[in-house]
Amino acid sequence: MIWIDGREGSVEMSHLIEESVVVTLDYGDAAFLGKGPDGEVEVGVERKKIGDLLNSIATGRLGGHQLPGLLSSYHKVYLIVEGEWRANPITGIVEAPRRKGMWVDISKGRKFRGDEVWAFLTTMENTGVIVRTTRNMTETCRMIENLERWWNKEWDKHRSHLAMHKRPMGMAAVLTTSPPSLLRRIAAELPHIGVDRSRLVERHFRSVVHMINAEEEEWMEVEGVGKVTAREVVEAVRKGEEENERL
C-alpha cells in the first residue's frame, strides 16, 4: 500500500497508482512501509517538478524546512525531480522544452545555472536523500511503485544487501590519519547510523558509556539523527542489555 498526500501537487498521483490511499502526510508526497535489515522501515518520497525545485532552492524551503522534516520522519527519503530540463549550452541557464522543439528559460525571478542545480542535488544526496529523475508524472508514479516493490522484498533476497547495509570500517580508516575509535566502531553498527553518521556520533558523545546510556532526546541532538532513528537506536541498545541480563 502506498500513501499519497491529499494536497494539490500530490493527490493527482493517486489516480495513476493502483494500490494507493489518500491521506494527510506531514512531510512528503508519498510514503510506504518496507522491509529493512532490522525490520520494518518507513520510506518517504518527495516529488518536485523542475520548476518547483528551482523555486524551493531560491526560497530555501526544501533545505530549510522540508528536508529536515523528511529525514526525521522516515528511515529512507527519496527526492524525485520530475520534468525534462537542460543547461543552455551557451549561458548554462536551466531551460525546459516547449512546443516545436524550443527550449526556454523557466526561472521565476532568480536565474539558475545547471551546475548549481546539480550541486544542490549532490548536497541533498550527502545528507542521506536519494535523488531520482523522471520525465513526467506517469514515470514518477511508476518509480514510486517500483521502489515500494523493492522495499517489500525480504531483505536477504536483495543481491547487494550486505554491501548496502554495512560498509567496511577499513575504508574509513584509510581516509583518516588514525584508525576509527571504539566508540565510532560501535556507533556504526547501530540502526541507521552507519559509517558516515558514526563520525557525528563520535563528536557528540564523550565516551562509549555516555553513548550507550543516552536517551532518545540526546540522540536527537546528533546532527542528522531524527526521532525515528533515535528511538530505534535506544531500543537496540536496551534490547542488547536485556539479552545480556538473561544470559
**Helices (H), ranges, 11-87:** 50-59, 61, 67-73
Q: Residue 195 sits in which domain range?
A: 166-246
For residue 100, is pLDDT > 80? Answer: no
Of residues 247 and 87, the one with the higher pLDDT is 87
Q: Which three cell numbers stand for residue 158?
A: 536483495
| Same domain membership, residue 199 and residue 151 | no
pLDDT reported for residue 242: 54
CATH for 236: 1.10.150.20
Threshold 0.75, pTM exceeds: no
Co-location of 110 and 217 in the same domain? no
Residue 3 phi/psi, 5-degree rounding, is -90, 130
Q: How far apart are CA 134 and CA 49, in angstroms?
A: 9
In this structure, is residue 161 part of a structural domain?
no
Averaged confidence pLDDT in the chain: 84
- One DSSP character per residue, 77-126 reads EEEEEES--EE-TTT-BEEEE-GGG-EEE--SSS--BHHHHHHHHHHHHT
For residue range 161-201, what is the model confidence (pLDDT) as tens digits?
A: 444 444 444 444 433 445 567 888 888 888 888 777 888 89
Whether residue 15 contacts residue 30, with contact meaning beta carbons closer than 8 Å, is answered with no
Q: How many domains are there within the chain?
A: 2
| 130, 90: one domain | yes
Which of 19-28, 84-93, 168-177, 203-212 is predicted least confidently? Answer: 168-177
* pLDDT score at 124: 87
Q: Assess whether pLDDT exceeds 80 at residue 3.
A: yes
Could you tell me which residues come within 8 angstroms of residue 36 by beta carbon, excluding any fewer than 6 positions away?
75, 151, 155
